[in-house]
A and B are shown apart, each in its own frame.
Chain A
């Protein structure tokens, strides 16, 4: 026993090293790329007549924002966390509505040829409308900034969800439908035992595209409607010529977008049946 115990830690140690080596192989390239990027940025902005701050300048000027994302001085003067949190709230509401309505409509046009024929042309036209084009009309309709922003999120995220869900329903293998027909499954049974499990991967493809789009749209929408939110924070910083704040906010937006994408993927992993995962 003792001998074995002697051997084991050594082996573990060796394993750890090799694991780190492996990790390093994955981590080195992005780290180096980032470094080069920063260097180029530094060089370009150090040139005489440069209009943008250097990276070092950026960090120096925004140090307060970076180390303290949670401050709240009332009004719009809030830490980045609160800015992002407010934006996320809008996205959550708009996106959830889009998911519910989008999946429902998708299943409807996927299962009914009549509805597909009726609605598909309309959807095809509307989905090409840029998100911000919806903003004036929604402002006119809702008369308030916040619901309008939520509506823009909703209308932006819904199209890929509808289209992918409908595609998923139409892609249900004929064999499964034949099984349902032969067994004369009821509508509810068909929905839960066959339609949903078979369509879920497609739905999540739509949801993933939708979340990306809605995060894109929120920043743009908030710039126009004001109030607390990362979009307006950027716009406000531009108006007060705080270029470094803009840069740090952009980094925040990027990271949050990545996080949202990862979150949906994680949910998909939990929900999508094992055999249905798309390669």
Chain B
């Protein structure tokens, strides 16, 4: 499908009375296909309506332009009909006259009779036959809005622009009109751009939701695809397994914008106390069993003990939110997936690099690969079975989910698939889904399997939706899993705070790994503000034997969730190097030729060592030896490039010098 409307690098700058200028929109770039329904959402004053007016031609961009079917929009015209926020019906004309005015003007080539029948058809379409001769003053808000929609649709615009069309209506009227609009749009295949505040409305109507950041200099923060099949009905949409995850994502975006606004108003000042530079910390976590050290440090007073008196744990919706939160300084620190500090520092997927460091590994192991019950019923028990099952259905590519490109879930799932001769980019379809949404997506049949942390595998097993084909103990026993990530400039600015944070969490890790404390930790985790899931889903592997759901007897493995024992916590360099080779292997980041320098900068053994010595704990990491993985491949940390070159299944590997000195200024 070709581009129908292109908003091409639009800036809108308003001159201010005092001689300054206000940049309302900055570099808006959006391509819309024919028949799409696009929603613009954002907080008040973010320039949504300005953007709509620019597309309508009622306002002119300062830079850039809007192209409709290859022609630049220079003035308003009936091919881009607008449904205005306050209806804009002419109060001295009746319903019929209001619609006729538009039809007679725009379709003046048609014979009169035909025009009249168009008018009457649209009056009927919006169900206003009984009010056709009434004037707008005699109509309710909902009826007026229906007239406005009828007037807009009657002239067959190529593009329908709606500016908060249902904003002023009561919920019942709004609901009815939304469904009517949706039906009409589907019937007449009209391309729509709508401005709204209402997340549910956006989800119901849109193909894509374009989220604008706060002004000034508002830009497109994120675009969410709404995959619900059409024709849609409200109930089906609401019950769609993705509904709440999408809704959560949008609400999260809006809340984040709101917080950014507040932050701008009252810049969070560091509270220095107890010899620390900052005791008010905001730490991000994802609801998973291995967020336990953070929860324990908070609930059992380890933060307090080390002087960090005002720590807030912020439950985040996705790893992406964690990465953004740390990069945008909203979060002081976060429990990150192991590869995230490296991928952020190297610049993942072409994004600008943000130097992020880790001085503490929070956990090891704790992941599993779950496949759907359907695959189990097809007889899939092993990796080889899975490969055979894929080969049997060449027309259908299974979709597998993981949680973040730089997470161990992605890297190990890919490694595992590739080891079995399955190309993770060609033979299967890999998608990113936040951990708490895995089970619902598996249930809905959107995905055929996933690799995630607990309790989300045990939950699928418990509900009979899937089975665990492999745990990470089967792939790489003792790999690093979650790490404490902070921005490098943050660590440089608050070195004592960083040390205190590492010490508090290190003690919490030790506490978590004492089997005597596990029941207490479980109770803490199951509180609704943390993981909030039923204890029964968290117990397997954490306390109880681990049930794979494949008919085999549950097995006890004391290392499934590992927080302290076996030198868990040192941010060893060898495994960091392995992560970098894998990220380079799959084209996520380039492989740095100066990998030793990168590892020194990102994985801060020195800070860990200082913290451990202060606590009287062992301050060394694991021995520097090659890594042996399940497929028999040996990873030699002294020759990563040779290793990369020898890998059979890989993408194009970029090996380049990553200059870290230029990065210092970025933070």
Give bound CA distance, A276 to B102, whole Å. Answer: 21
Set of chain A residues within 8 Å of B101, measured between Cβ atoms: 183, 185, 189, 193
Which of the residues A178, A186, A273 comes within 8 Å of B82, measured between beta carbons?
A178
Range, interface on chain A: 10 to 19
B574-615: contact bitstring with A at CB < 8 Å (1 yes, 0 no)?
000000000000000000000000000000000000000000
Give bound CA distance, A61 to B576, whole Å. Answer: 120
Which of the residues A178, A184, A273 comes within 8 Å of B78, measured between beta carbons?
A184
Q: Does B422 contact A (CB under 8 A)?
A: no
A184 touches B77 (CB 8 A): yes
B135 touches A184 (CB 8 A): no
Known A182-B78, A182-B80: A274·B135 in contact at CB below 8 Å? yes
A276 touches B84 (CB 8 A): no
When C-beta atoms are compared, the residue in chain B nearest to A273 turns out to be: B92
Give bound CA distance, A197 to B75, whole Å. Answer: 25
- Within the complex, what minimum Cβ distance (angstroms) separates B92 from chain A? 4
Which of the residues A175, A184, A274 comes within 8 Å of B88, measured between beta carbons?
A175
For chain A, residues 185 to 213, give those with C-beta under 8 angstroms from any C-beta of chain B: 185-186, 189, 193-194, 197
Set of chain A residues within 8 Å of B93, measured between Cβ atoms: 193
When C-beta atoms are compared, the residue in chain B nearest to A193 turns out to be: B101
Set of chain B residues within 8 Å of A175, measured between Cβ atoms: 84, 86, 88
Q: Does A8 contact B (CB under 8 A)?
A: no
For chain A, residues 223 to 279, give those with C-beta under 8 angstroms from any C-beta of chain B: 273-276
When C-beta atoms are compared, the residue in chain B nearest to A194 turns out to be: B90
Known A182-B58, A184-B105: A176·B90 in contact at CB below 8 Å? yes
When C-beta atoms are compared, the residue in chain A nearest to B84 turns out to be: A175
Set of chain B residues within 8 Å of A183, measured between Cβ atoms: 78, 101-102, 105-106, 155
When C-beta atoms are compared, the residue in chain A nearest to B53 turns out to be: A178
Q: Does A115 contact B (CB under 8 A)?
A: no
B92 touches A184 (CB 8 A): no
For chain B, residues 385 to 441, give those with C-beta under 8 angstroms from any C-beta of chain A: none
B135 touches A275 (CB 8 A): yes
Give bound CA distance, A29 to B551, whole Å. Answer: 101
When C-beta atoms are compared, the residue in chain B nearest to A178 turns out to be: B58
Set of chain B residues within 8 Å of A17, measured between Cβ atoms: none
For chain B, residues 136 to 161, give those with C-beta under 8 angstroms from any C-beta of chain A: 136-137, 155
Set of chain B residues within 8 Å of A176, measured between Cβ atoms: 88, 90
- Within the complex, what minimum Cβ distance (angstroms) separates B416 from chain A? 58
Q: Does A101 contact B (CB under 8 A)?
A: no
A275 touches B106 (CB 8 A): no
- Within the complex, what minimum Cβ distance (angstroms) separates B625 from chain A? 72
For chain B, residues 37 to 93, give those with C-beta under 8 angstroms from any C-beta of chain A: 56-58, 75-78, 80-82, 84, 86, 88, 90-93
Q: Does A181 contact B (CB under 8 A)?
A: yes
For chain B, residues 521 to 556, give those with C-beta under 8 angstroms from any C-beta of chain A: none
- Within the complex, what minimum Cβ distance (angstroms) separates B104 from chain A? 9
Give the interface SS of chain B, mostly helix, strand, loop or mixed: loop
Which of the residues A185, A189, A276 comes within 8 Å of B92, measured between beta carbons?
A276
Set of chain B residues within 8 Å of A184, measured between Cβ atoms: 76-78, 105-106
Which of the residues A182, A197, A273, A276 comes within 8 Å of B77, measured between beta carbons?
A182
Q: Does A34 contact B (CB under 8 A)?
A: no
Q: Does A100 contact B (CB under 8 A)?
A: no
Set of chain A residues within 8 Å of B106, measured between Cβ atoms: 183-184
A181 touches B136 (CB 8 A): no
B92 touches A182 (CB 8 A): no
B84 touches A178 (CB 8 A): yes
Q: Does A179 contact B (CB under 8 A)?
A: yes
Give bound CA distance, A32 to B501, whole Å. Answer: 91
Which of the residues A182, A185, A186, A275 comes within 8 Å of B137, measured between beta carbons?
A275
Which of the residues A182, A275, A276 comes within 8 Å of B76, measured between beta carbons?
A182
Set of chain A residues within 8 Å of B80, measured between Cβ atoms: 182
- Within the complex, what minimum Cβ distance (angstroms) separates A274 from chain B? 7
- Within the complex, what minimum Cβ distance (angstroms) separates A201 from chain B? 11
Give bound CA distance, A114 to B86, whole Å. Answer: 30
Set of chain A residues within 8 Å of B155, measured between Cβ atoms: 183
Known A178-B82, A182-B81: A189·B105 in contact at CB below 8 Å? yes
A275 touches B58 (CB 8 A): no
Give bound CA distance, A193 to B91, whole Å. Answer: 11
Give bound CA distance, A197 to B91, whole Å. Answer: 9
When C-beta atoms are compared, the residue in chain B nearest to A189 turns out to be: B105
B92 touches A275 (CB 8 A): yes
A182 touches B82 (CB 8 A): yes
For chain B, residues 101 to 116, give those with C-beta under 8 angstroms from any C-beta of chain A: 101-102, 105-106
Give bound CA distance, A181 to B136, whole Å. Answer: 20
Give bound CA distance, A178 to B75, whole Å. Answer: 11
A193 touches B135 (CB 8 A): no
Set of chain A residues within 8 Å of B77, measured between Cβ atoms: 182, 184
Set of chain A residues within 8 Å of B92, measured between Cβ atoms: 197, 273-276
Give bound CA distance, A275 to B97, whole Å. Answer: 15
- Within the complex, what minimum Cβ distance (angstroms) separates A178 from chain B? 6
Give bound CA distance, A179 to B81, whole Å. Answer: 9
Give bound CA distance, A275 to B92, whole Å. Answer: 6
When C-beta atoms are compared, the residue in chain A nearest to B136 turns out to be: A275
- Within the complex, what minimum Cβ distance (angstroms) separates A272 from chain B? 9
Give bound CA distance, A145 to B155, whole Å. Answer: 60
Give bound CA distance, A193 to B152, whole Å. Answer: 18
- Within the complex, what minimum Cβ distance (angstroms) separates A271 from chain B? 11
Set of chain B residues within 8 Å of A193, measured between Cβ atoms: 90, 93, 101
Set of chain A residues within 8 Å of B86, measured between Cβ atoms: 175
- Within the complex, what minimum Cβ distance (angstroms) separates B131 from chain A? 15
When C-beta atoms are compared, the residue in chain A nearest to B78 turns out to be: A183
A274 touches B137 (CB 8 A): yes
Set of chain A residues within 8 Å of B91, measured between Cβ atoms: 273, 275-276
A-B contacts besides A176-B88, A182-B56, A184-B76, 18 pairs, CB < 8 Å? A175-B84, A175-B86, A178-B82, A179-B84, A182-B76, A182-B78, A182-B80, A183-B155, A184-B105, A184-B106, A185-B105, A189-B101, A193-B93, A273-B92, A274-B92, A274-B135, A275-B91, A275-B137
Pairs across A and B, CB under 8 Å, 30 listed: A175-B86, A175-B88, A178-B58, A178-B88, A179-B84, A179-B90, A181-B57, A181-B58, A181-B75, A182-B56, A182-B57, A182-B58, A182-B77, A182-B80, A182-B81, A182-B82, A183-B102, A184-B77, A184-B105, A185-B101, A186-B105, A193-B93, A273-B91, A273-B92, A274-B137, A275-B135, A275-B136, A275-B137, A276-B91, A276-B92
Query: 6 tightest CB-CB pairs across the interface, nearest first?
Result: A275-B91, A273-B92, A175-B88, A197-B92, A275-B137, A181-B76
